[in-house]
A = this chain, B = another copy of it.
Amino acid sequence: MNITELKKHIVPKGFLVSGISAGLKKSGRKDLGLIVSEVPALCAGVFTRNAMRAAPVVLNQQRIGKGPVRALVINSGNANCATGASGLKDARTVTMRLARALRIPEQSVLMGSTGKIGVRLPVSTITAALGTLIEGLSREELYACADAILTTDTVRKVVTLRCTIDGAVYTITAFAKGAGMIQPDMATMLCFILTDAPLARRDAQKLLKEVVETSFNRITIDGQMSTNDMVLLLANGKAARNSEMLKGSQLGPVREALGYLTRKMAALIVEDGEGASRFIEVTVTGAGTTGQADKTARELANSPLIKTACGAGNPNWGRIAQAIGAINRTVDPRCVSIGFYTPASVSLRTQQPRPVPLIVFDKGRPGWISGEKLERIMKGYRIGIMADLGKGRYTRTIWTCDLSEGYIAINKKY
């Protein structure tokens, strides 16, 4: 294996990061982060498809295809969304002031925001803090920067991979925020991936889109698609041994590394879902179309009845049967099967054998409702639900977490 995961997280060559408390969050926690590339970096990105997309999403979409990126400023505590034309002006002002201070083109500065929707961005609070933010730049401030984008998250989410391709050693580091308003489509929450590998923009964009589709776009915490979702991949080529971009078969390990990294990050986000106490994997098999498989898996994963049952380790599969029948009104109950299993952890091995479920509803006939084997599965931190529709050969797996009193408490306040 030419890809290894590092326990000690590091920043790829040629990147400097920083994170401070600028006063955007009442709690006084870190709320402003900065990433700077010493040389122009290519940037690939995928964004929310919510029609109410936030100002920083609009700004990045305008700039990302036009040229290389040098800096990315990220704030938490304010989403700068539903703020109209003023919101976009505010985001531009921040990037303009940062560009001047760093003596780089304004168009090479991107922005990310997360926090409360519908409130004007406190521009002067941010610009007043830019000096301190820039002073703090170093390769040692990764955790400070990763912490600055968190909101209701309870743990920092960082993954670092080392990837060897034709003798050159590249580092890929990602950090993300998650927790609530999470059912990405096309993109997700905030996730920033930095690498010192030399990638062409077209390849990077294609790879990013591909891996996001099978990672972030396969999770849901509360079925609520955010307005601020974005995944950005910055590649500055600083670890390259010559001036050539990676290409052809060299992209294989990059795809593999990005695939593992995004799946791992997606799992970390689900595990830290607001109020979450369990990780739930829903696998739909035997669907007539990919669309049916996806819709069924997603709705099972968003069912408050199934989520609360799993949270209590309660094998109440009647709720799964109910949801299957509500989503697929023409399904024949005599063809439907339901099972529970213990899902495998995210692993660098791409081909893992699918776990064999304990069938509790077998082609329309009720089976286990209790028993030692079922209890063992339901007691686990990771619970798998298998639903076979008996219609065709399409499958889909979606990850989610349970719905707990904690989620309610967090969202009453926030």
Contacts of A226 in B (CB 8 A): 322
Contact of A322 among B49, B117, B322, B369 (CB under 8 A): B117
Which interface class (under 10, 10 to 19, 20 to 34, 35 or more) fits A? Answer: 35 or more
Contacts of A336 in B (CB 8 A): 52
Contacts of A329 in B (CB 8 A): 49-51
| A344 at the B interface (CB under 8 A) | no
Digitize A58-83: 1 where CB-to-B-CB distance is under 8 Å, 0 elsewhere.
00000000000000000000010111
Q: Are B82 and A52 in contact (CB under 8 A)?
A: no
Q: With A118-B369, A409-B405 in contact, is A51–B305 under 8 Å at CB? A: no
Q: Are A361 and B82 in contact (CB under 8 A)?
A: yes
| A347 at the B interface (CB under 8 A) | no
Contacts of A303 in B (CB 8 A): 223-224
| A100 at the B interface (CB under 8 A) | no
| A196 at the B interface (CB under 8 A) | no
So how many copies of this chain end up in the complex? 2
Which chain B residue shows the least CB distance to A360?
A: B118
Contacts of A120 in B (CB 8 A): 366
| A225 at the B interface (CB under 8 A) | yes
Q: How far is the CA of A404 from the CA of B369 in the complex (A)?
A: 28
Which chain B residue shows the least CB distance to A414?
A: B316
Contacts of A99 in B (CB 8 A): none
| A288 at the B interface (CB under 8 A) | no
Q: Are A84 and B365 in contact (CB under 8 A)?
A: yes
Q: How far is the CA of A119 from the CA of B312 in the complex (A)?
A: 20
Q: How far is the CA of A366 from the CA of B329 in the complex (A)?
A: 41
| A255 at the B interface (CB under 8 A) | no
Digitize A268-308: 1 where CB-to-B-CB distance is under 8 Å, 0 elsewhere.
00000000000000000000000000000000000111001
Q: How far is the CA of A330 from the CA of B324 in the complex (A)?
A: 29
| A122 at the B interface (CB under 8 A) | no
Q: How far is the CA of A404 from the CA of B50 in the complex (A)?
A: 27
Digitize A322-334: 1 where CB-to-B-CB distance is under 8 Å, 0 elsewhere.
1111101111111
Q: How far is the CA of A79 from the CA of B321 in the complex (A)?
A: 12
Which chain B residue shows the least CB distance to A299?
A: B223
Q: Are A225 and B322 in contact (CB under 8 A)?
A: yes
Which chain B residue shows the least CB distance to A333?
A: B52
| A170 at the B interface (CB under 8 A) | no
Which chain B residue shows the least CB distance to A303?
A: B224
Q: Tell me how far the C-beta of A301 lies from the nearest C-beta in chain B, rounded to whole angstroms.
A: 13
Contact of A52 among B83, B324, B409 (CB under 8 A): B324
Q: Are A413 and B323 in contact (CB under 8 A)?
A: no
Q: Tell me how far the C-beta of A19 lies from the nearest C-beta in chain B, rounded to whole angstroms.
A: 25
Q: Are B117 and A304 in contact (CB under 8 A)?
A: no
Q: Are B312 and A412 in contact (CB under 8 A)?
A: yes
| A388 at the B interface (CB under 8 A) | no
Which chain B residue shows the least CB distance to A336?
A: B52
Closest 6 CB pairs of A and B: A117-B318, A52-B325, A312-B412, A308-B411, A225-B326, A51-B325
| Given A52-B324, A119-B318, 13 more pairs with CB closer than 8 A | A52-B322, A52-B326, A84-B334, A84-B364, A84-B365, A118-B321, A118-B360, A119-B369, A181-B322, A224-B304, A314-B412, A404-B408, A405-B409
What are 6 sample pairs from A and B whose C-beta atoms fall under 8 A apart? Answer: A82-B333, A83-B366, A84-B334, A119-B366, A222-B304, A312-B413
